[in-house]
Amino acid sequence: MKHLKIVVSVIITVTLFTSCKKTTGPEISDIKGVVIDDSTGVPVEGVLVTLAKMKQDTTDSLGKFYFGDVEEGTYSLEFSKYPYRDTTLTAYVEGGKTWEIEVRMRYLGPPEWHVVDSIGEPVVQVFFVDYWTGWALCGGDGLWWGDKLYRTMDGDNFTLVYQFSQEDSVRKIFFVNSYVGWAVGMKIWKTEDGGYTWVEQMNVDSIYNSQAYGLYFYDENEGFVVGGGENIHYNHDFVLHTTDGGTTWIPYEFFESDDSNLFALFDIKMDGDRGVIVGQHVYCIWEWVGSGSFYTTNRGIEWHTSRESFGSEMGHPPFHRVTLYGNGKAIKIWRGGLLAARSEDMGHSWFLLDTLSCPVYDIFFIDETHGWIALEEGIYFTRDEGTHWWGQWAGGRVTSLYMLDANWGYAGTYEGCILRYERRK
């Protein structure tokens, strides 16, 4: 009996001791290191370092990063900064110890343009819905209209999928996804199978005695088409709006039409509720008067005439391409080349940039520090919103641009080449 009491006493004592003792978790450690440029040996600032997709840090001016209170275990570390090659390492963390590393990242240089396909006939326009899926409108006069549609699903190889009639004079294409898109010219067409078949939605020529030149769609239902005439006998400028995918088109007739004041609207871009149309306003057939640019702040319900501060010696030249970027900014280029104008208030007012050295065919901006123009002599790039331009590719006349982001885009040339802009491998 006495022996039993002793055993019970020991068990109780051990139990009490165990219950009072604190439970200890796994030991924690630190991870720190430095990122170095592999070619120069100089620390790299601004590298985004991600620890197991849970924690992030950015290297400082000395290239250093730090993660504290890391439990013992195995972790992946990801290092990313453009234009360096993304790097991934595995960290083995022992409890109570600091894991220190030196990471070397390879400098890739800025993206570059290179030929990915040669179609064999002039490229009028390129258009992409993602990094690999796109179309090229080709043939025609090689500059302003085409009659053949090519498609790619890998970004490299373009295949002919449809041939329009030359009389249709297709000016522009626009796709909202891999299947649904529109084409405009003498008519408005729609495709729902990626461009293999097209259905006519409107005969613009028979209704307006003119052509459609530009279009923009928000989605499969809502979009705009603009056009008009450039001839003394054509005076039917128009803006068409649809909310049912083009089944019905509602005209917005906000201009007075008479034989001495004629409009042609060439391009339209929208950004949410705001948008810009550019074109020309001619008096008789030899002098430009009034502004050919218009803007909206309520999703196209109302359009207003823009103000241009070019000076009386410039008159009001016609502009045929416009790009929107940043917070309410826009740049438009003159159809004859040589001139560009910028707006800081989404097209309400414009001021002239420096004249350009040769004819310009297209323009595309991603933001305030990434902009491109397609010229007679190649592709130029700007980091200061068009104040200065630098040559990026000088392989011939470039007729169209489409940029997906600051590091990836496509271009088409009059010689029939498709170019891609991407980071070096």
Each residue's pLDDT tens digit, 133-163: 999 999 999 999 999 999 999 999 999 999 9
What pLDDT shows up at residue 256?
45
pLDDT for residue 273 is more than 80: yes
Residues belonging to the chain: 425
Same-fold call for 28-105 versus 112-422 = no
In the prediction, which pLDDT does 7 show?
40
Mean of the per-residue pLDDT values for the chain? 86
Q: What is the pLDDT of residues 332-378, one digit of tens each?
A: 998 666 678 899 999 999 988 876 778 889 999 999 999 999 999 89
**Token pair for residue 416?**
């029939």
* 370-424 per-position pLDDT tens digit: 999 999 989 999 989 988 889 999 999 999 999 999 999 999 999 999 999 997 6
Percent of the chain having pLDDT more than 70? 83
In this predicted structure, what is the pLDDT of residue 425?
Answer: 62
- Looking at residues 81-101, what average pLDDT do you find? 88
* Rounded Cα gap, residues 270 and 277, in angstroms: 9
Q: Name the residue with tokens 């995918």.
A: 245
Inter-CA distances, 350 with 276, 299, 336, Å: 12, 20, 18
The pLDDT of 90-119, averaged and rounded, is: 90
Q: How high is the pLDDT of residue 280? A: 78
pLDDT for 258 equals: 43
Rounded mean pLDDT, 179-206: 97
Res. 5 pLDDT band, cuts 50 70 90: very low
Q: What is the pLDDT of residue 308?
A: 78
- Give the least confident one: 24-38, 103-117, 165-179, 199-213: 24-38
pLDDT at residue 4 is higher than 80: no
Mean pLDDT of 178-190: 98
Domain assignments of the chain as residue spans, ordered by start: 28-105, 112-422
Angle at 125 between CA 302 and CA 190, to 5 degrees: 60
Bridge partners (DSSP) of residue 139 are none
pLDDT at 312 over 50: no
Region 156-184: mean pLDDT is: 97
Residue-level pLDDT at 372:
96
Instruction: State the pLDDT at residue 337.
Output: 62
The pTM of the full predicted model, rounded to 2 decimals, is 0.76
Cβ neighbours around 150 below 10 Å, total? 25
pLDDT digits (tens, 9 = 90+) for 197-254: 999 999 999 988 889 999 999 999 999 999 987 554 545 688 999 999 999 999 986 6
Which of 3.40.50.9100, 2.130.10.10, 2.30.130.10, 3.10.20.30 is the CATH number of 112-422? Answer: 2.130.10.10
Quickly name the fold that domain 28-105 has. Immunoglobulin-like (2.60.40)
